[in-house]
Amino acid sequence: MLSPRDPRLEVEALGLRFASPLGVAAGLDKEAECFAALGDLGFGHVEVGTVTARAQAGNPKPRVGRLPRDRALYNRMGFPNPGAETFARRLGGRRPRRVVVGVNVGKSMDVELADAAADYRATVRLLAPFADYLVINVSSPNTPGLRSMQSVDELRGLVEAVRDELREVGHEPPLLVKIAPDLADAAIDAIADYAVEAGLDGLVAVNTTVDTDVLARSSADERAAVYGGISGAPLKRRAVEVLRRLRDRAGDDLVLISVGGIESADDAWERIEAGATLVQAYTGFVYGGPLWPRRINRRLARRLGENAG
């Protein structure tokens, strides 16, 4: 059964119309197989991937776990996915849709950083025609060296390479970059300044954190078992800080998609008031269950009605 739509929730951004500001963060639909079903549950957009040029298995298992005391997850997935060719077939075959589909693109595990631009280009070449928007992921903690590409010098070269590829393909969907919460404030400012200067369409903030100090309730044994990036409620405070900093720095020149610790309609509303155009969830949905997006949308619509009144 399709989740009912409320026209009050519609958002126009990136040249697209979103049925709701609430979307699914990259990392859930890793193989571009369930975006339509997620849309039917009530999400306004689904960011599929992260996808790499070639299929890869990701890091050895076990690689994901729950931290229920903190309402968090941890993972060191390492971008397991079937590769860009398979994504292109799956996205190319989708029927007229109720959900916007973004494509989150990452670096292949076996590609050296010096060759990363060519690797991203290979993925974009195949997927640009089927993506409603594209996200360059340079912020996962689970691919060695990837986060070093968040420096403006590295990012500038990568973005230029991707844009060159898009021009050659002849299809240029909106282009965004996803950043980490663990960046220093000065680095966040530098990325915001660069994004405005370069005319990027937006930023996705934030990815998972490697700071285990955010785990306030988990036991010592649970904390000792953590590996990779942490998502969920412990990320909430930093995600809001980064969002506000980006909006203050960039003004209205960028679309900001806020991710990290969104568990309720109040959380989503706080992000929108702080400058987010769209919000994304992953861990909140895992803990909330399949009816969670419908509940969030209903409560967001109620908030909109109260504010309009």
Q: How sure is the predictor about 309, in pLDDT bands with cuts at 50, 70 and 90?
A: low
Rounded to the nearest integer, the mean pLDDT of the chain is 94
The string of pLDDT tens digits covering residues 177-197 is 999 999 999 999 999 999 999
Q: How sure is the predictor about 154, in pLDDT bands with cuts at 50, 70 and 90?
A: very high
What is the model's pLDDT at position 255?
98
Task: Quote the tokens at residue 31.
Answer: 């193989």
DSSP 10: -
What is the model's pLDDT at position 305?
78
What phi and psi values does residue 175 have, to the nearest 5 degrees? -120, 125
Q: Is the peptide bond before 50 cis (omega within 30 degrees of 0)?
A: yes
Asked if 54 contacts 78 with a C-beta cutoff of 8 angstroms, the reply is no
List 3, 140, 231, 258, catalytic entry: 140
Residue 137, pLDDT > 80, answer: yes
Q: How sure is the predictor about 306, in pLDDT bands with cuts at 50, 70 and 90?
A: confident
Size (the chain), residues: 309
Is position 140 annotated as part of the catalytic site?
A: yes
Any idea what the CATH number is for the domain that residue 194 is in? 3.20.20.70
What phi and psi values does residue 282 have, to the nearest 5 degrees? -140, -70
By DSSP bridging, strand 22-24 and strand 45-51 are: parallel
Instruction: Let me know if residue 45 belongs to a domain.
Output: yes
What is the model's pLDDT at position 237?
97
Q: Check residues 95 and 107 and name the one with the higher pLDDT.
A: 107
Instruction: Let me know if residue 222 belongs to a domain.
Output: no
What is the model's pLDDT at position 96?
61
CA distance 51 to 192: 25
What is the model's pLDDT at position 244?
98
Which whole number is the average pLDDT over 234-256? 97
Residues 221/224/228/233 CA torsion (nearest 10 deg): 50
Q: How sure is the predictor about 5, in pLDDT bands with cuts at 50, 70 and 90?
A: confident
Number of structural domains, the chain?
A: 1
By DSSP bridging, strand 16-18 and strand 11-13 are: antiparallel
CA distance 245 to 51: 29
The DSSP secondary structure of 145-209, one letter per residue, reads: TGGGGGSHHHHHHHHHHHHHHHHHHT----EEEEE-TTS-HHHHHHHHHHHHHHT--EEEE---B
Which of 62-71, 195-204, 217-226 has the highest mean predicted lDDT (pLDDT)?
Answer: 195-204
Q: Is 78 left (phi over 0), alpha (psi -120 to 50) or beta?
A: left
Asked if 181 contacts 238 with a C-beta cutoff of 8 angstroms, the reply is yes
The string of pLDDT tens digits covering residues 103-112 is 999 999 999 9
Residue 76, pLDDT > 90, answer: yes
Instruction: Let me know if residue 157 belongs to a domain.
Output: yes
What is the model's pLDDT at position 62?
87
CA distance 263 to 274: 16
Instruction: Let me know if residue 73 belongs to a domain.
Output: no
Instruction: Let me know if residue 86 belongs to a domain.
Output: yes
Instruction: Let me know if residue 64 belongs to a domain.
Output: no
What is the model's pLDDT at position 68?
95
Alpha helices in 211-291 (DSSP H): 220-224, 236-250, 265-273, 283-288
What is the model's pLDDT at position 95?
67
Q: Is the peptide bond before 206 cis (omega within 30 degrees of 0)?
A: yes
What is the model's pLDDT at position 43?
97
Least confident of 76-80, 98-102, 207-211, 222-226: 222-226
Least confident of 54-68, 136-150, 152-166, 273-287: 136-150
Which whole number is the average pLDDT over 272-296? 97
Instruction: Let me know if residue 227 belongs to a domain.
Output: no
Which whole number is the average pLDDT over 120-149? 93
User: What is the number of other CB atoms lying within 10 angstroms of the CB of residue 189?
Assistant: 16
Residue 2, pLDDT > 90, answer: no
What is the model's pLDDT at position 142?
81
Percent of the chain whose predicted confidence (pLDDT) is above 90: 84
Label each residue of 23-52 as H, E or C: EECCCCCCCCCCHHHHHHHCCCEEEEEEEC
Q: Give exposure, 237-253, as e/b (b: 16+ Cβ within 10 Å).
A: ebbbbbbbbbbebbeee
| Distance of alpha carbon 241 from the chain centroid | 17
Instruction: Let me know if residue 265 belongs to a domain.
Output: yes
Instruction: Give the structural domain span for 189.
Output: 7-59+79-210+234-308
Which whole number is the average pLDDT over 147-157? 92
Q: What does pTM read for this prediction?
A: 0.95
